[in-house]
Structure 1
Amino acid sequence: MLALAWLAYFALHSLFASLGFKQRLIGSWPALAAWYRLLFNLLAVLLLIPPLALLYSWPGEMLWQWQGIGRWLSGGASLAAIAGFFWSLRYYDSKEFIGLRQLSDRRSGSQIDQEAFTISPLHRFVRHPWYSLGLVIVWSQSMNGAYLLSAILITLYFVLGSRLEEQKLIAFHGDVYRSYCAKVPSLLPLPWKYLQKDEAALLAKKAQK
């Protein structure tokens, strides 16, 4: 049941995030255009309730639990990832991300499908820093049966979701984003593969043209 709940959530989240579904829905109900992002975020939160309820209702047998210095290290990794997430917010337009700017600008039609190409300091090392930080948080916890299953499914979805997201970014930014993908790894940072500051600035400038 837990696996089915997560799979249903991932399927619905991917469907609602897809450009095709968004464009068809707004084609039928144009008044939804400015509201789409906000409603998408609200649904993404509400639809998490069933899998999370199952996760904590039936935890299963404890498989491993961090002890001693391992507990400190795992806790430190989680806190560092959370701090990295909040620090990275300064490089995003929070109103745009939530969906409030679309409402205030009264966007319609193709205006809502503008996918920004943001290269924050973390984007110089991984293409999807929020997913990467999320994986640190997920895998630094003690594991019971239900949590391990959830961690595996979430990891697989992050891999698949990052690829679906990149298809949209390539559709909007073309060769600029392809060049970025060639130079920066997706989820796991590699010491020999990253963007210098001047390279990041140049790519960001090209994406704005």
Structure 2
Amino acid sequence: MTDEKILVVCAANVCRSPLAELALRRGLGADSPLSVSSAGVRVNDGDPICSAVASLHDDAQWQAQAQAHRATPVTIEQIEQASIVLTASRDIRGELVRLAPRSRDWMFTIKEAAHLGEGFASSAPDRVAEYVAHLDRARSRAVPLTPSGGVGTRLRQLFGGRTTVDPTSIADRHGSRGHLETIAEVEASVATILAQLGGHRRHSS
């Protein structure tokens, strides 16, 4: 039995990170030895999950977890005890690095992990540790994004982002017209991560 832990962090812990948490749990399955949790860096402690995320699926397990969720502020202990930390955006990753610098090597944005994890496959009990090593090697080989042209443009194309948008981040559009786009981005990236970790994505019920 492994005690590997996946921690997902966004700003308020009501939309992006709890969606990723619930989607990862759903995809990994109830019998998975991996634990998944979420937290936020600017939290109104105890806030419920957003209604759009709660209504994505109507099965009992999703509904129970969505209704039970309450926004929680991230702690240094959570970060240091996690096997991997997935953040909604690069600026949030930066905040966590400043909070817990010793853990920076296992911090990635959700979209970054999905991209850098290409080609990873393992069924080992400690596959998250192997996954982090794979991501870290891929990150060390990557050329940093540039404002325009060259490799930076290519990476933006791979991530599907526009030149003015950070391609490694999922924007916080909670309450705006782009909210559904944010949800779709989280779901797509999590589905890719699940495939890399040997999970699966269940169809909507």
Q: Which TM class, normalised by the smaller chain length? A: under 0.3
Higher relative contact order (CA 8 A, sep 6+): 1
The alignment's TM-score, normalised by the length of structure 1, stands at 0.23
* Bigger share in helix: 1
**Would you tell me which structure has more strand in proportion to its own residues?**
2
